[in-house]
Structure 1
Amino acid sequence: MAEIIQKDGTWVFDGDALRLTPGRDKNVSLFRKTLGELVLPLGALAGVSFEQGKKAGRLRLRLRDGADPLLHATGGRLTEPNDPYQLIVESDRYGVAEYFVDEVRNALLLDEVPADPVDAYLVPSPSLPLSVSAGDATASFDGERVRLEWNWKTEDAKAAAGTRSLALADITAVEWHPAAGLENGHLRFTVRNASTKAPPKYDPNAVELWGFKKDPLMALVAAAVQARLPHPARATADVPAARRELPAPPAASASAEDDHDALLRRLRELGELHRTGVLTEEEFTMAKQAVLKRM
């Protein structure tokens, strides 16, 4: 039995599973608080480590590839504050953290848990039903259908089709990308016989995200859906080798003219978001300056 209690959260290991509970401190992210407590079976772990710092250290768990639908749906793009598999440790608890690491590592050795990828999810998905409002929509999932309800910030062409209701049986993939730099983020569903290459702003099966506080919560919807889709390892195994797609060749780098046009489009989008009240004056000024520096 090993336990470490910190402002950032509490981790408990009983020899068979780890219980990760986020803290209630104001610095704990909204994403982790909403995700809530996680129970990880020992077999889902590939390793554990502790890194000391001058003022605080950090416990990190490494999961086996394919064990967690959240990690698969987000592709490792969750930032450190939103990563449920990290715990900030105060300097006076370094000894406890090191003991915790030793206990988990010893259990992994005794149980001979391999670090190999798995072909089934071992970590439970976020609780259902689930509903998140962020970006240009509210996304809801009850285990059978995904519902996308557009708001006043939605592009007219996308909103004109009305609320989307996607049956789980028709969804073949889901992905979540955070906003980064000049690029907006998204939650996108790939729907059977309805593929589209449209940007998330116009894609009726996608939610566009602008980098605000609630954006990471859309990753919970992605994880809940991913957990109920065929595991990617099994899906790949079912496809004959001759039919598997070869890696695409590297895309040619965009020309300077294309980059300039993209930056101009981004400026227009920022201006529109500012006029409609989505961005404050300060947010608009900072974003505009970042774009102008690239021109």
Structure 2
Amino acid sequence: MSRMGDVLAGFHAAWEFESDSVLIRYERGIRTPKLFQALGERRIPFEAIETVTLAPGRRGTVVLRVEPRAGADPLMEAAAGQLKESCDPYRLVLPAERETLAEYYADELRAQLKPHDGDAERFLVGAPEVPLRFKAYDGKASFDGKTVSFRWFWTGASSAKWKAGDQSFPVADLNGVEWRSPEVFEGHLRLLRGAAPLLPVDQDPAAVVFGLGYGPVHESLPFAAAVLSAVRTARPSAVVPAMRRDPADIAERIRHLGELHQSGLVTDEEFAVKKAELLAEL
């Protein structure tokens, strides 16, 4: 970069350009997305950046964005494309009159990038700091950096989970994490354990279910990212096996989904998307 320590301030965040990275500091204002406030700040090494773009935004703004390399950021790996645009931590929204300045920094960043050969082999962006915890609909999840614990709520947990009892999972025994946004149908966090079968999330003792006000993005996603990072550190060569559910279970879940759709609790779009996802698991 031309001058180490240069700062470009936008709405909800400021980017500080350093010799080998971009330090993103998020505001804590009332209008700032809660996910940004939870993240606080993030250092993005140039090595973790795939591309840099500058495009027109809404209502007289421009958007500077860096695209992280696949496999470089545990937060984005856990999110798996489910974040809303307004909660994308790699976007910096600026007034349109600052477009020339934004273009200058975009060019400066592009000049620092080197060609990459495929996905990142390890996480290059730091994971959220532990300990972390959040309340799901059916239990409380906590993570101390080594063990994930689920403590069930008798008011929300299924009989299967209640009978199984509270759960503890050392990261060394895990293969990965499945996070489905609480803002969509059947939001949940599931721990992936080798060849263990994937049960319905409300019956799976290795999963917690989200709900209205439970497992919000700004709490459950950093949690998932921290667990995923710890799993990769403990088992760098671990590969999550392809898992298939019982066809009878898929059929039952589609039937239940259809009932929710007919009763108006699920929109046409949500029904079509979820049905396709369930069929893809066969």
Equivalent-residue separation in structure 1 for 2:194 and 2:253 (angstroms): 32
> How far is the alpha carbon of 1:288 from its aligned partner?
3.3
**Equivalent position of 1:208 in the other structure:** 209
Deviations 1:240-282 (A, max 9, x none): xxxx97x99xx9xx99x985642325788xxxxxxxxxxxxxx
2:43 maps to which of 25, 33, 39 = 39
> How far is the alpha carbon of 1:158 from its aligned partner?
1.4
Amino acid at match of 2:160: A
2:227 maps to which of 225, 228, 232 = 225
**Equivalent position of 2:279 in the other structure:** none
Q: 1:187 to 1:234 in 2, by over 3 A?
A: same
Equivalent-residue separation in structure 2 for 1:65 and 1:105 (angstroms): 18
1:67 maps to which of 65, 69, 72 = 72
> How far is the alpha carbon of 1:126 from its aligned partner?
0.6
1:168 maps to which of 168, 171, 178 = 171
> How far is the alpha carbon of 1:82 from its aligned partner?
2.2
Deviations 1:9-51 (A, max 9, x none): 1111113110011122322211121122001111111111111
Using the TM superposition, name which of 227-236 and 76-85 deviates more. Answer: 227-236
User: 2:175 matched to 1:198?
Assistant: no
Deviations 1:69-114 (A, max 9, x none): 1222221222222221112212232222212211111122xxx353
User: 2:265 matched to 1:288?
Assistant: yes
**Equivalent position of 1:187 in the other structure:** 189
Report matched runs for 1:115-134 at 5 Å.
116-134=118-136
1:157 maps to which of 148, 160, 165 = 160
TM-score, scaled to structure 1: 0.76
User: 2:150 matched to 1:148?
Assistant: yes
SS in 2 for 1:61: strand
SS in 2 for 1:57: strand
Equivalent-residue separation in structure 2 for 1:185 and 1:17 (angstroms): 34
Q: Which runs of 5+ in 1 are unaligned?
A: 269-286
Amino acid at match of 1:163: D
Equivalent-residue separation in structure 2 for 1:70 and 1:289 (angstroms): 28
> How far is the alpha carbon of 1:142 from its aligned partner?
0.8
Q: 1:178 to 1:15 in 2, by over 3 A?
A: same
Equivalent-residue separation in structure 2 for 1:87 and 1:115 (angstroms): 27
Equivalent-residue separation in structure 1 for 2:97 and 2:10 (angstroms): 11
Q: 1:77 to 1:288 in 2, by over 3 A?
A: closer
Equivalent-residue separation in structure 1 for 2:215 and 2:98 (angstroms): 32
Equivalent-residue separation in structure 2 for 1:184 and 1:222 (angstroms): 16
Deviations 1:134-163 (A, max 9, x none): 332221111110011222322233133332
> How far is the alpha carbon of 1:213 from its aligned partner?
7.3
**Equivalent position of 1:91 in the other structure:** 96
2:110 maps to which of 105, 109, 113 = 105
**Equivalent position of 1:29 in the other structure:** 33
TM-score, scaled to structure 2: 0.79
**Contact 1:22–1:36 at 8 Å: present in 2 too?**
yes
Amino acid at match of 1:262: L
Deviations 1:155-211 (A, max 9, x none): 233133332111111112211011465x21110002246x23321111111011135
**Contact 1:178–1:211 at 8 Å: present in 2 too?**
no
**Equivalent position of 1:282 in the other structure:** none
User: 2:5 matched to 1:4?
Assistant: no
Amino acid at match of 1:138: K
Report matched runs for 1:254-265 at 5 Å.
261-264=256-259
Identity of aligned residues (%): 29
**Contact 1:11–1:19 at 8 Å: present in 2 too?**
yes
Count of residues in Structure 1 that have an aligned counterpart in Structure 2: 259
Equivalent-residue separation in structure 1 for 2:30 and 2:253 (angstroms): 43
Equivalent-residue separation in structure 1 for 2:271 and 2:181 (angstroms): 20
Q: Which runs of 5+ in 2 are unaligned?
A: 273-282
Query: CA-atom RMSD, angstroms?
Result: 3.2
